[in-house]
Every structure is written in C-alpha cells, then in structure tokens.
C-alpha cells in the first residue's frame, strides 16, 4: 500500500494496538465463504517503507472483513492510515494465503462463525439442530418437531404465511348467507370495492350498522355484485369485501 502520512501517526497506532488478538464472529450470511486462522502482522507502506501496525491473530472469513475492519483495533489503526479498501484487500490476501485456509459451504438456517481450529464452523438457527452432532454439515429439524413457515418447532397447526389463491378468490366473491344483509363496518359510508362489510341479520341484530340500515346494502338497488355460491364462512370471517358491477 502506498500512502502519505505522518510517521507520528504510525508510531502512535503501533504503540496502541501492537500484538493484540481479536476473535471475531462472522457477521454476514452467505452460502459459501473462504475462512482461515490468520496469524500475521498487518503492515502499511509509508514513504516506501513497510511498517507493521500490529498482529492479526484471529479466525476470520472473507465475508467478515467489513465488520472486522470496523471493530479490530489493529485494523482500525491501519485504516486510519491507508483507507478501508487497501486494508481490506490486504486482510483478504492474508486469509487466502494463510496455512489451512478453507472454502466453506453452509446449509440453510445457519449462522456462520469462524472459530479456532474450525474455520468453517457455523451455528444452526430458527430452531434447527446441527447434523451430525460432531463435525456438522447440515441444519435439520429433529422430530417430533416440524417446520412451519421456515421455523422448526412444536406447532398445533401451521397457517400459511401467504394466503392461498382460492382463499383470496373466496374473499373477493364472498357474499352473505340467505337471511342476512351486508352492512358497512363502523358505519362507513360509500361503496368502495375495498370497503369492509359484515353480514347482519338486521331484523334482530342490534350491534351493527347504526341499527337503522342506513349503511346496509340493498342488492336490488346497489351497483354491487355477489357470487352467491360462495358464503362468507368459506374463509372463516364475517367481514367481506363487495365488488362493483362491471360497467
């Protein structure tokens, strides 16, 4: 790295951080990475002279470099002199040339961490367990647990995270059962297609629609349409949207 800086800055940085070791856990999540146990001095070039800022002694992955240069004292001192890009490139070269460096592949539901003597180590998250227990290669959901919406756990049921298409269609064309009238929720006036309604027996139910039918819909006069083959109960709610008739 070729930079121009005061020798006093370099000496101050070296005095502050030389020889410090830092154990950093991998922050970024990727499916592949290159990791190694780095044990070497990080140096910068000042006026053509290579000056060692301090010792980098850490198990580190390439994807963890952005976090490392912001948190490690030696790396921060080097960045203050040579800049992030130059220092990051040097640290990546240290990883790629370190003895025993490894190309790591990770499974789903992992949180990677490079540890001493285990450069490709990882932890399983979202309730999943490492498999096999010794030298794991995968994260699995162990029985009797099951997977629901990406989480491994014990569930009585597993509602879909995304409504099914037929449920959406049922909502779109839902209607009130025979003997009930569609009335606006919270007495909202207007007949927007997105208006929320509920099915009310206005002859006996005094808990909805302002009780005087002023916000209830008479299908004979309203410009709204229903598919009477689909009941509101089809999707488990009594609030249903009404659709305007096509012009």
pLDDT in tens, 103-122: 988 888 888 766 656 788 88
Relative to beta strand 151-153, strand 181-184 is: unpaired
Asked if the structure places residue 158 within a domain, the reply is no
Q: Are residues 19 and 98 in the same domain?
A: yes
And the tokens for 60?
């580190």
Mean pLDDT of 97-106: 90
Query: Looking at residue 200, what is its pLDDT?
Result: 66
Once rounded to an integer, what is the mean pLDDT over residues 76-87? 93
Residues 185 and 145 in one domain: no
Q: What are the phi and psi torsion angles at 96 (to 5°)?
A: -70, -20
Domain match, 90 and 40 both: yes
**Same structural domain, 11 and 99:** yes
> In this structure, what DSSP letter does residue 179 have?
T
Are 48 and 80 within one domain? Answer: yes
**For 118-171, what is each residue's pLDDT tens digit?**
788 888 999 999 888 888 888 999 999 999 988 999 988 887 655 555 555 555
Whether residue 94 sits in one domain with residue 109: no
Domain assignment present for residue 2? The answer is no
Same domain? For 93 and 53 the reply is: yes
> Do 79 and 98 lie in a common domain?
yes
Considering the domain boundaries, does residue 160 fall inside one?
Answer: no
Distance between CA atoms of residues 204 and 191, nearest Å: 24
96 and 85 inside one domain = yes
Round to whole Å and give the CA distance between 129 and 95: 29
Domain housing 96? 7-26+33-103
Give Cα 152 distance to the centre of its chain: 16
Q: Is residue 149 part of a domain?
A: yes
Q: How confident is the model at residue 199 (pLDDT cuts 50, 70, 90)?
A: low
């Amino acid at each position: 790295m070729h930079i121009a800086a005061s020798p006093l800055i370099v000496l101050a940085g070296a005095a502050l951080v030389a020889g410090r070791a830092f154990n950093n856990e991998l922050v970024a999540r990727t499916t592949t990475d290159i990791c190694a146990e780095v044990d070497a001095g990080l140096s910068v070039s000042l006026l053509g002279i290579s000056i060692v800022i301090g010792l980098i002694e850490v198990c580190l992955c390439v994807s963890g470099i952005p976090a490392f240069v912001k948190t490690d004292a030696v790396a921060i001192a080097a960045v203050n002199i040579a800049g992030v890009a130059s220092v990051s490139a040097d640290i990546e070269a240290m990883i790629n040339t370190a003895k025993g460096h490894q190309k790591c592949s990770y499974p789903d539901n992992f949180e990677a961490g490079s540890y001493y003597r285990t450069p490709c180590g990882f932890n399983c998250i979202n309730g999943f367990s490492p498999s096999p227990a010794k030298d794991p290669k995968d994260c699995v959901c162990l029985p009797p647990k099951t997977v629901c919406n990406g989480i491994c756990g014990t569930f009585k049921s597993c509602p879909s995270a995304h409504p099914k298409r037929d449920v959406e269609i049922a909502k779109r064309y839902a209607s009130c059962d025979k003997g009930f009238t569609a009335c606006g929720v919270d007495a909202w006036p207007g007949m927007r297609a997105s208006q929320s309604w509920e099915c009310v027996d206005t002859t006996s139910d005094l808990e909805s629609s302002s009780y005087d039918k002023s916000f209830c819909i008479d299908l004979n006069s309203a410009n709204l349409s229903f598919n009477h083959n689909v009941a509101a109960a089809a999707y488990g709610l009594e609030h249903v949207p009404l659709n305007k008739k096509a012009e």
